[in-house]
Amino acid sequence: MNNPLHPGEIVKDALIDGAKLNVTKAAKKLKVSRTALSRLLNGHTGISPEMAVRLSKLLNTSIEMWINLQAQYDVWQISRTAHKIKIKPLSKAA
């Protein structure tokens, strides 16, 4: 996977561009603060399980879709620096 979009950009495409909502109205529909939604849309936070539930209800999607988008993004992010984590494997599984 090559530099995936932050999940907040996908949320922005769906709510702001697609549904033509502004951040304040979208936050009200999700029943979250404007700041919380803005932080997600700007890539400062990820999609929490609770936000995944809210998005799935508002956009008629699955919770798993949002969780998977976030997980894929997180895995891509850590894979860029995983080589710096030096762990010696166990010689025998527990």
Would you state the pLDDT for residue 2? Answer: 77
Q: Coil, strand or helix: which one is 68?
A: helix
pLDDT band at residue 92 under the 50/70/90 scheme: confident
String of DSSP letters for 27-83 = HHHHTS-HHHHHHHHTTSS---HHHHHHHHHHHT--HHHHHHHHHHHHHHHHHTTGG
Distance CA 75, CA 70 (A): 9
Q: pTM for the full model?
A: 0.87
pLDDT tens for each residue of 70-86: 999 999 999 999 999 99
Distance CA 26, CA 66 (A): 17
Could you read off the pLDDT of 28-74 as tens digits, one per residue?
Answer: 999 999 999 999 999 999 999 999 999 999 999 999 999 999 999 99
